[in-house]
Chain A
Amino acid sequence: MNIHTTPQRTPAETALIDAFSDRLSLLPGDGTVMLKRDDAIEAIKSGLPTRRIESWHYTDLRRLLNAVPDFDPAAAAKAIAPIVEGSVILPVLNGVSSAKVPVIDGVIVQRLSEKLTDGSIAPGLDPYGTDDAIGALNTAFVADGYFVDIADGAELDKPVELQNLQAGGQTHVRLAVRVGAGAKAVIVERQTGEGAALVSSVSQLLLDEGADVTWLIVQEQPDTATHLAQFKAHLGKNSKLTLFVMNAGGKLVRQEIVVKTTGEGADFTLRGINLLAGDTHTDVTMVLDHAVPHTASTEVIRNVVTGRARGVFQGRINVHQYAQKTNAKMACNTLLLSDDGEFSTKPELEIFADDVVCGHGATVTEIDHSHLFYLMARGIDEKSARGLLVKAFVAEVIEELDDEAIVEALETRLDGWFATHG
């Protein structure tokens, strides 16, 4: 332990550094953006995070990322049907946004490549901390995505679906969304494809006063893909964010959620489902900052682990000194269904204010035998009974979302997963 070593660069680190010099001339950006890219690649040159870095304790990226595919200009991904019928689709195909942006009332949609070229997106490109490897990777390579600005008071009647679709190679995408005061929207972030790709995707969301947003992340990468994603949000005064995350695929997945309440009365809800099968390593890491008084948050994460899958949930709630009257609750429940699977969880609380209500709970267990017995005593065979119980365990989280169309859409995704992995 703690022995001094001079780390040698791994093939993946070398591949990333080489790819950067190859790609540099093709990357959009003004002077500021390019400087930020240089800083970001320097961070990668100093090495990918290992388990010694506390926030990467259970996902040793340096060890796990053992191959980085080359950029594949020939890869062609096709837009897919949205999960909720009638949604407005904003596709990013293999890292490139559509030249034809749809027209939505009260919404400005721009290609992110334009915002990079004129440098107006530059401030958002800074990593949020020294251990922000995903932010650095994305800032170095990001070439496209979308910028969406929802006007004050606008109420979108249809969901907006941002599709990030890959067909192999590398894609680095960023989605930046601002929701104006009092505006209301449902945004779906689809992450899928069919190649052995390396995907980095950063979504950044800014909620103005009283904005109300439901954001769904549906990640269904093939079991060959590496998916490194980050969701960052700032919650203004009296704003409300319901974030739903579903991970149901990928070989190496890390989904970071970085949320900060910046206005009093902000309310954050996180509901997550991790369906882990095969050899996947899936890590959901949340850092939540209660930075002002009178804000609330609840997080519920449900995990199902089968096969040789490894799952991780890290959740840290920071309650700042002035954030009195914070109300924060976090729960992480895991069903470990196979002897070869594993799950690690670290629900942290960092509290500096004395008048708050904070709690967390975490459980790891197998299916309750008395529940199983109850069903089997009623003539249901063991396999179906188990299936019912597992599905009920995760579906409970989905049912809490009070939009019928969304609940139905997500249950379809859930059924799809159980059909192949149940």
Chain B
Amino acid sequence: MPAVQDTIDRVRKIDVDQYKYGFQTEIAMDKAPKGLSEDIIRFISAKKDEPSWMLEWRLEAYRRWVTLDEPKWARVHYPKIDFQDLYYYAAPKSTPGPTSLSDVDPELLRVYEKLGIPLKEQEILAGVQKTDVSEFEEASDNVYKSGRVAVDAVFDSVSVVTTFKKELAQAGVIFCSISEAIREHPELVKKYLGSVVPTSDNFYATLNSAVFTDGSFVFVPKGVRCPMELSTYFRMNEKNTGQFERTLIIAEEGAYVSYLEGCTAPQRDENQLHAAVVELIALDDAEIKYSTVQNWYPGDAEGKGGIYNFVTKRGDCRGDRSKISWTQVETGSAITWKYPSCILRGDDSSGEFYSIAVSNGYQQVDSGTKMIHLGKNTSSRIISKGIAAGFSQNTYRGQVSAHRKATNARNFTNCDSLLIGDQCGAHTVPYMEAKNATAQFEHEATTSKISEDQKFYVMQRGIPEEEAIALIVNGFVKDVIQQLPMEFAVEAQKLIGISLEGSVG
């Protein structure tokens, strides 16, 4: 059954030519020469004032990277990327170091204002200059108590500001840019960096290991529940610049943290490269919640321009009873190549993946997850919804595997796709690998989620059909939306109403 009109209208509202964040900003930038070589890596490392072990680590990754080929297995097509025709480092000139907001170029602040980072956050951002800890504490007693978000703002290659650092430090939480962490907390970085996504992992992760310029670092010590949501806002501005950020989040025994990530980029005719690596580590009883609203520039209606988004995201449930949850709303990028994964190493650990991917215009999405069950009694859950319109291709690619010793591994996967129009494609490529007899895996991809029974139940209570459908659909998509923190709910709201009626596998 074809998609219903209401759905078509809603998807239309987020079509590629409606991109709101396509403006660019003229800011004096400090750039490395174009191209990639050992010298450039030395330049980046020197700019960041890094210790020698970090430089060695980068160089080793680079030497490995030159021996690798780009992976070809994903269902995405694009002209060959000339890796020598990119800038690997670009930073706003006026930032001596991301210490306080007063150092930040007002032009930059305007960028973030324009991007609509939640207003209350803006107030707090503005407050940084004149505020001390007590004022925050006062604030924490009133309305901001639950709504506060600490933000790390990354502009092209560098982190320009991190808010709420002091208050977080009081709780023992370290939240700073990764460059700062390398300088201030080398023992932690050394211990965990590359332990989930090794430098040799894949083509883009290896490239990232060699040239990553910034990103966020979060460390939540034993027994601490992070007092607020942490967030990073990525903005690509410079032309022909690759953005390579690296995020490392560690939750020690019994810790909890919720982290959000948002991304936008200006509208340009050329394609831009974004290759990030995110590593999550959860020790015993820890929980990490990672949410993304990815809204990179998707290219114009003719498929010109847009971001190539090649991202490696992986969480390691290293400790027993640990939990990692990925939630993503993907609407941007010309090409998305992204598989947030969970390695369920600890006994009784669990992993979750909730995803809504909407593709429009000439976008190509190849996204999904991997759930690798290694420990005993591990469980995982995958809910994925893909919506393809225009000339786009939307692929779910996921892997669930239980290793020999993973007794009682449990997985439930549900992926639905919806096609709007006959020029787009929806694809489902799930891999299931069971090597343990006690594993229990279920995969389903169903057509129509609205059963007659459900509809009848609602309608016989006097609710008209259309509303009944909306009610059921809302309840259904909420599976994913509910996982998103409040701050992202607004963007996600646009997607809530999308009905999956007429969806195919």
A338 adjacent to chain B (CB < 8 Å)? yes
Q: Are B438 and A366 in contact (CB under 8 A)?
A: yes
B432 adjacent to chain A (CB < 8 Å)? yes
Of the stretches B143-151, B186-194, B339-347, B414-422, the one at the interface is B414-422
Segment 339-374 of A: residues with Cβ below 8 Å from B: 339, 341-366
Of the stretches B297-305, B442-450, B485-493, the one at the interface is B442-450
A324-B419 Cα distance, complex, nearest whole Å: 12
Q: A54-B73, A336-B436, A339-B404 are in contact. Are A362 and B2 (CB under 8 A)?
A: no
A321 adjacent to chain B (CB < 8 Å)? yes
Out of B68, B71, B437, B444, name the residue touching A337 (CB < 8 Å): B437
Segment 214-233 of B: residues with Cβ below 8 Å from A: none
CB-CB under 8 A from A419, the residues of chain B are none
B429 adjacent to chain A (CB < 8 Å)? yes
Q: Are B73 and A357 in contact (CB under 8 A)?
A: no
Q: Are B432 and A344 in contact (CB under 8 A)?
A: yes
B200 adjacent to chain A (CB < 8 Å)? yes
CB-CB under 8 A from B1, the residues of chain A are 355, 357
A19-B467 Cα distance, complex, nearest whole Å: 70
B69 adjacent to chain A (CB < 8 Å)? yes
Of the stretches A1-9, A59-67, A213-221, A250-258, the one at the interface is A1-9
CB-CB under 8 A from B419, the residues of chain A are 351, 353-354
Count chain B residues whose beta carbon lies closer than 8 angstroms to a beta carbon of A: 48
A317-B430 Cα distance, complex, nearest whole Å: 13
Q: Are B434 and A351 in contact (CB under 8 A)?
A: no
CB-CB under 8 A from A324, the residues of chain B are 422
CB-CB under 8 A from A57, the residues of chain B are 431
In the assembled complex, the CB of A262 is this many whole angstroms from the nearest CB of chain B, namely 20
Out of A342, A347, A350, name the residue touching B425 (CB < 8 Å): A350
Q: Which residue, of A319, A360, A364, A366, has the highest number of chain B Cβ atoms within 10 A?
A: A364
Q: Are B434 and A352 in contact (CB under 8 A)?
A: no
CB-CB under 8 A from B69, the residues of chain A are 2, 4
Q: Are A334 and B444 in contact (CB under 8 A)?
A: no
CB-CB under 8 A from A337, the residues of chain B are 437
CB-based nearest B residue for A317: B505
Out of B67, B203, B443, name the residue touching A347 (CB < 8 Å): B443
A327-B419 Cα distance, complex, nearest whole Å: 15
CB-CB under 8 A from A356, the residues of chain B are 504
B3 adjacent to chain A (CB < 8 Å)? yes
In the assembled complex, the CB of A281 is this many whole angstroms from the nearest CB of chain B, namely 14
Q: Are B2 and A363 in contact (CB under 8 A)?
A: no
Out of A3, A359, A365, name the residue touching B446 (CB < 8 Å): A359
In the assembled complex, the CB of A313 is this many whole angstroms from the nearest CB of chain B, namely 9
Segment 400-420 of B: residues with Cβ below 8 Å from A: 404, 417, 419-420
CB-CB under 8 A from B446, the residues of chain A are 359
Q: A346-B430, A365-B441 are in contact. Are A354 and B67 (CB under 8 A)?
A: no
Q: A357-B1, A360-B445, A363-B441 are in contact. Are A351 and B422 (CB under 8 A)?
A: no
In the assembled complex, the CB of A159 is this many whole angstroms from the nearest CB of chain B, namely 35
A364-B439 Cα distance, complex, nearest whole Å: 7
A349-B202 Cα distance, complex, nearest whole Å: 26
Q: Are A364 and B434 in contact (CB under 8 A)?
A: yes
A303-B417 Cα distance, complex, nearest whole Å: 27
Q: Are A346 and B432 in contact (CB under 8 A)?
A: yes
B455 adjacent to chain A (CB < 8 Å)? no
In the assembled complex, the CB of A207 is this many whole angstroms from the nearest CB of chain B, namely 26
Q: Are B427 and A350 in contact (CB under 8 A)?
A: yes
Q: Are A360 and B2 in contact (CB under 8 A)?
A: no
CB-based nearest A residue for B410: A365
CB-CB under 8 A from B433, the residues of chain A are 342-345
Q: Are A361 and B447 in contact (CB under 8 A)?
A: no
Q: Are A349 and B431 in contact (CB under 8 A)?
A: no
Q: Are A348 and B429 in contact (CB under 8 A)?
A: yes
Segment 361-420 of A: residues with Cβ below 8 Å from B: 361-366
Q: Are A361 and B443 in contact (CB under 8 A)?
A: yes
B114 adjacent to chain A (CB < 8 Å)? no
CB-CB under 8 A from A361, the residues of chain B are 442-445
A342-B434 Cα distance, complex, nearest whole Å: 5
Q: Are B437 and A336 in contact (CB under 8 A)?
A: yes
Q: A344-B432, A349-B428, A353-B422 are in contact. Are A359 and B441 (CB under 8 A)?
A: no
Q: A350-B427, A360-B445 are in contact. Are A339 and B437 (CB under 8 A)?
A: yes
Q: Are B436 and A339 in contact (CB under 8 A)?
A: yes
CB-CB under 8 A from A350, the residues of chain B are 425, 427
B435 adjacent to chain A (CB < 8 Å)? yes
Q: A342-B433, A349-B505 are in contact. Are A363 and B443 (CB under 8 A)?
A: yes
B440 adjacent to chain A (CB < 8 Å)? yes
Q: Are B440 and A3 in contact (CB under 8 A)?
A: no
In the assembled complex, the CB of A63 is this many whole angstroms from the nearest CB of chain B, namely 17
B426 adjacent to chain A (CB < 8 Å)? yes
CB-based nearest A residue for B403: A342
Out of B404, B428, B442, name the residue touching A348 (CB < 8 Å): B428
Out of A4, A345, A354, A358, name the residue touching B447 (CB < 8 Å): A358
CB-CB under 8 A from A348, the residues of chain B are 427-430
CB-based nearest A residue for B436: A339
Q: Are A349 and B437 in contact (CB under 8 A)?
A: no
A324-B421 Cα distance, complex, nearest whole Å: 12
CB-CB under 8 A from A4, the residues of chain B are 67, 69
Q: Are A354 and B2 in contact (CB under 8 A)?
A: yes
Segment 55-113 of B: residues with Cβ below 8 Å from A: 67-71, 73
In the assembled complex, the CB of B400 is this many whole angstroms from the nearest CB of chain A, namely 9
Out of A321, A352, A362, name the residue touching B430 (CB < 8 Å): A362
CB-CB under 8 A from B425, the residues of chain A are 350-352
CB-CB under 8 A from B203, the residues of chain A are 1-2
CB-CB under 8 A from B429, the residues of chain A are 346, 348
Out of B202, B421, B423, B502, name the residue touching A1 (CB < 8 Å): B202
Q: Are A358 and B504 in contact (CB under 8 A)?
A: yes
Q: Are A347 and B420 in contact (CB under 8 A)?
A: no
Q: Are B67 and A365 in contact (CB under 8 A)?
A: no
A237-B110 Cα distance, complex, nearest whole Å: 65
A362-B433 Cα distance, complex, nearest whole Å: 11
In the assembled complex, the CB of A6 is this many whole angstroms from the nearest CB of chain B, namely 14
A345-B430 Cα distance, complex, nearest whole Å: 8
Segment 271-308 of B: residues with Cβ below 8 Å from A: none
In the assembled complex, the CB of B148 is this many whole angstroms from the nearest CB of chain A, namely 42
Q: Are A365 and B440 in contact (CB under 8 A)?
A: yes
Segment 242-270 of A: residues with Cβ below 8 Å from B: none
Q: A2-B71, A356-B504 are in contact. Are A349 and B434 (CB under 8 A)?
A: no
A2-B419 Cα distance, complex, nearest whole Å: 34
CB-CB under 8 A from A341, the residues of chain B are 435, 437
In the assembled complex, the CB of B44 is this many whole angstroms from the nearest CB of chain A, namely 24
Q: A336-B434, A364-B434 are in contact. Are A349 and B504 (CB under 8 A)?
A: yes
A299-B504 Cα distance, complex, nearest whole Å: 17
Q: Are B441 and A360 in contact (CB under 8 A)?
A: no
CB-based nearest B residue for A342: B435
CB-based nearest B residue for A330: B505
State the 9 A-B residue pairs at the shortest beta-carbon distance, nearest first: A354-B419, A342-B435, A364-B434, A349-B505, A362-B443, A344-B433, A358-B505, A364-B441, A349-B428
| 24 A–B contacts, CB within 8 A, in A order | A1-B71, A2-B70, A2-B71, A54-B73, A336-B439, A337-B437, A339-B437, A345-B431, A345-B432, A348-B427, A350-B427, A351-B419, A353-B422, A354-B419, A354-B422, A354-B424, A358-B504, A360-B505, A361-B442, A361-B443, A362-B441, A364-B439, A366-B438, A366-B439
A: residues with CB less than 8 A from B are: 1-4, 54, 57, 319, 321, 324, 334, 336-339, 341-366
Extra A-B contacts (18), CB below 8 Å, given A2-B69, A345-B432, A365-B441: A1-B203, A2-B203, A3-B68, A4-B69, A57-B431, A324-B422, A341-B435, A344-B431, A351-B419, A351-B427, A354-B421, A355-B1, A355-B502, A357-B1, A361-B442, A363-B443, A365-B439, A366-B440
